Amino acid sequence: MSELGLAAACGLVTAAAAVGTPPAPGPGSAPDLADGDYMNSSELAVARAIHRVVPQDLSRGDSFALLGERRGFANSPPMTPGRYVFQSAELKAEVVDCEEGAVVRIVNRGSFQSGFSISRCQAAREKLEAIGKAAPAMVAAVRPKIAGSYGAKEADLAKMGFFHARKSFPEGEVHLVPVVMGGHGFTVYSNAILVDKEAAWVVQAHLQRYCEDSGSRVGPGKRLCTQSDDVLAEIARAARVALPAK
């Protein structure tokens, strides 16, 4: 069986499914981003939400910095603004499209191979609420299949971020929902879904390569690796303020 076939059998999301119909970041995908600008307005709002929780501290040697998707920038790891693909316990793909969002990359020692995709989702509020509530069953169904097919230990998958957690805040409930993307091997994307009475907010993070680098072990950025569930939940709360319901 091919790796893509194996990914489908295990309930993994492929890169093609994650990108889907909307244009991947690249030429023409950010019409309000002028040459020479670092971020457009949506990227700036998202970056501010992240930095409210994870401030940059260059005085301590912190290598954590953010940069918006630039025109012509390589889409690695695959992320598309406003589009998310989740997995169900039945190993089916659940595609969610949101109204407003942006992708920003973590700049770490000249590498851009980790990042965030953050969005406000009003039409998909109920769908995201259901995905969050179904996450425990999804994790229980998918994790042993991935472990068996790729020769990984379930405990190691949990350390990589493939686990569910639920946190309650005055604004609403946050579910930490993992997604495993397959293809040539696999990687884990962490997702924090915050739902209130009006809308939902998704914070998707790919942190594996950032956390593997020694530069992530100093400054406030290290919390992304040591306390990722708490930090992503707080970023979701900050995103609710930065991208308010309309």
- Band (pLDDT 50/70/90 cuts) for residue 46 is very high
Is a pLDDT exceeding 60 seen at residue 73?
no
- Band (pLDDT 50/70/90 cuts) for residue 196 is very high
Is a pLDDT exceeding 90 seen at residue 204?
yes
Higher pLDDT, 107 or 162: 162
**Mean pLDDT in residue range 45-51:** 91
| CA dihedral (159, 160, 163, 166) positive or negative | positive
Amino acid at 14: T
Q: Which region among 61-70, 92-101, 197-206 has the lowest average model confidence (pLDDT)?
A: 61-70
Please answer whether residues 129 and 121 qualify as being in contact, where contact means their C-beta atoms are separated by less than 8 angstroms: no
Is a pLDDT exceeding 70 seen at residue 149?
yes
What's the rounded Cα separation, in Å, for the pair 243 and 246? 9
Contacts of 48 (CB under 8 A, 6+ apart): 238, 242
- Band (pLDDT 50/70/90 cuts) for residue 245 is very high
Task: Report pLDDT for 218.
Answer: 64
Higher pLDDT, 71 or 154: 154
What's the rounded Cα separation, in Å, for the pair 116 and 243? 15
- The domain spans of the chain are 3-242
Nearest in space to 91 (alpha carbons), one of 138, 140, 144, 147? 138
Q: What is the pTM of this model?
A: 0.81
For 246, which DSSP code? Answer: -
- Band (pLDDT 50/70/90 cuts) for residue 152 is confident
Task: Report pLDDT for 107.
Answer: 75
**Mean pLDDT in residue range 125-144:** 94
Pairing of strands 65-68, 83-87: unpaired
Please answer whether residues 12 and 186 qualify as being in contact, where contact means their C-beta atoms are separated by less than 8 angstroms: yes
Alpha helices in the chain (DSSP H): 3-9, 15-19, 41-53, 125-150, 154-159, 208-212, 223-226, 228-242
Average pLDDT, the chain: 78
Please answer whether residues 116 and 104 qualify as being in contact, where contact means their C-beta atoms are separated by less than 8 angstroms: yes
Q: What percent of the chain has pLDDT over 70?
A: 71
Residue 161 pairs in a beta bridge with: none
Is a pLDDT exceeding 70 seen at residue 6?
no
Q: Phi, psi (5° rounding) for residue 71?
A: -60, 130
Task: Report pLDDT for 212.
Answer: 78
